[in-house]
Structure 1
């Protein structure tokens, strides 16, 4: 494997146990910047557990993982500041509103609750999303629901966001129409 600092994701012997059950055993993985990588396997094979460890939502039982140049155990806040997480549609709580999911994403990016609320309101206003911000995601299109938690507006190393498949009558910009109107300042951490 290459240098951990040049890899987007690098794991060595990463593992996680739950009581008497091993969910992930010795995962050795290297994903280069710009590379798309998918975890495939049957239910119960450890895919979600691996992703939860890589996103700092679950502490590994053994091994090491470096994501975006930061160690998931030693510096989880740096990992969260550098990555974005978009949940698959089936993982969304259909009763949660787009606003609630934006707040969750802000907290995952290590913003305080007041910072996350302020940034959430700024993003809702910027993207003209007032009309559906309090709508349950189960009533939105899949792209609308996933777009409501897009990591781009939260992540400090991103410079623009794009929306796809806006709901009918929405004034949100469509994909490719963002230009400078979607450019944003990184969230502040005070």
Structure 2
């Protein structure tokens, strides 16, 4: 969300907070824990439990180690090995950290969104669906309806919007 939008809502008295979480992290390893009206543009600090660790790799990528990390991508050991290294999950997100431990997202290592229809770059270029590796190509995704739980290859997903939003496209690959 743009910083000026957060600032405006905070001026109006709404304690709007950004946080960070991925399906692979099973929740939010970074958020504004106990901090009211946080500085816009920052996603927070690492979870205050010592079992949850957030580090910055030499290239600026956020690394997460936590007891609730996912174990593997379904039927995709190559992609799993690429993102899980020595117990650390490589998020693909670039961050910067302040001296006080606040974390700010500044970009992505790869500027690509993987969707069921292929890979998309922010410039709108689309490659073929066959070149979309990883878990996104392994799972059928749906929006605006809930899939049955009977098939292990189908992830239940409910979207309240009539069309998939950027969050759905980025997070769920639809």
Please confirm whether the aligned pair reaches a TM-score higher than 0.5, indicating the same fold. no
Structure with larger RCO (C-alpha < 8 A, sep 6+)? 1
Alignment TM-score, normalising by the size of structure 1: 0.25
More helix by share: 1
Report which of the two has the higher share of strand. 2
